[in-house]
Amino acid sequence: MSEHIHKSDNKSLLLYHFVCPIKYRRTVLSKEVSKAFKEICLEIEKRYDIHFLEIGLDDNHVHFLIQSVAIISPKRIINSVKSITAKEIFRLHPDVKRKLWGGKFWSSGYYVNTVVIPHLI
83-113 pLDDT, tens digit each: 999 999 999 999 999 999 888 999 999 999 9
pLDDT (0 to 100) of residue 118: 67
The closest alpha carbon to 69, from 115, 12, 112, 18, belongs to: 12
How do the domains of the chain map onto residue ranges?
Answer: 5-120
Q: What values do phi and psi take at 6, rounded to 5?
A: -100, 125
How far, in Å, CA of 66 to CA of 50, rounded? 7
Which CATH topology does 5-120 take? Alpha-Beta Plaits (3.30.70)
**What three-state secondary structure class fits 30?**
coil
48-87 pLDDT, tens digit each: 989 999 999 998 999 999 999 988 999 999 999 999 999 9
pLDDT (0 to 100) of residue 120: 55
Q: What is the pTM of this model?
A: 0.89
List helix spans (H) across the chain. 31-47, 74-92, 94-99
